[in-house]
Amino acid sequence: MNQLKLKTIIIDDEPLARELIQNYVERVPVLSLVGSYASAQDAVREVVSGEIDLIFLDINMPCVGGIELAQITPRSTRIIYVTAYEQYALQAFAANALDYLLKPVAFADFMRAVNRGVEWKKMSDALEHNGALIKDVIVVKSDYKTVQIALDSILYVEGRRDYVTFVLDREPFSIVSLVNLKKLEGVLPVERFMRVHRSYIVNLSKLTIVDRARIVFGETFIPVSDAYKEKFSEYLRTHSVAGGPVALEGAQ
């Protein structure tokens, strides 16, 4: 079995801070240091390559800051911010941060962030691997356990930042897992599941009631947003007894 390795880069304009994180990275076998950079501009090629797993990233840097760099960072790359400023935390987590470390960084805090990165990587790899090989189930991580979910038990999936909640038609009725909705969308079979909103994927075989631009699951209403309305309307049309056009009014 191949040992898990997280390809890592460091971006910080402060030499001492950069050297400290590099020292930490080199002490942790699961991390593989690809490069250490004094500016975001120097690191752009590595950042956009899609080959990097973790970035230890400063926020306040000349020209291009850490929050701006996050806008061009692939979703497959996770960011651990390393900064002297507490006030950027909300912006950082909105920009796909895995963790937020305050300088000077203690090794224990560094390892906490690394362990989160390891769990995320295992989850991501499990989705790609198991989703491709197992036809009727999906394997996810939930509360440090590996859980197998039957696809036909899923009513819908709700995404919140980098967490999703699988809502099921049987016990345990809901399972929370650390994975983003876009990654999950690429794994679930397209003939059975459809994205209908930036926060929702639904199991098409579980649809019973569509009330205008809302899918009804018991007392829960799932909105069909404008971005997905045409595709969902086409699905309804092709599965309609009448076969005529279907209009969804009142989209959110």
Name the pLDDT band for 105 (thresholds 50, 70, 90): very high
Q: Render pLDDT for 188-212 as a digit per residue (tens, 0 to 9).
A: 888 889 999 999 999 999 998 998 8
Spatial distance between the Cα atoms of 203 and 7, rounded to a whole number of angstroms? 35
CB 109 within 8 A of CB 81: no
Per-residue confidence (pLDDT) for residue 74, from 0 to 100: 87
Angle at 197 between CA 192 and CA 200, to 5 degrees: 60
| HSE-up (13 A, CA, CB side) for residue 84 | 9
User: How big is the chain by its Cα radius of gyration, in Å?
Assistant: 21
Longest dimension (CA), the chain: 70
Name the pLDDT band for 131 (thresholds 50, 70, 90): very low
pLDDT at 13 over 50: yes
Task: Look at residues 57, 58, 95, 102 and name the one whose alpha carbon lies nearest to residue 74.
Answer: 95
pLDDT at 132 over 70: no
pTM: 0.56
More confident residue, 201 or 125: 201
| Most confident segment among 103-112, 158-167, 178-187, 211-220 | 103-112
Per-residue confidence (pLDDT) for residue 133, from 0 to 100: 38
**DSSP states of 224-241 as a string?**
--HHHHHHHHHHHHHT-S
Q: Render pLDDT for 207-236 as a digit per residue (tens, 0 to 9).
A: 989 988 899 998 999 999 999 988 898 888
Domains and CATH numbers, the chain: 6-125 (3.40.50.2300), 152-238 (2.40.50.1020)
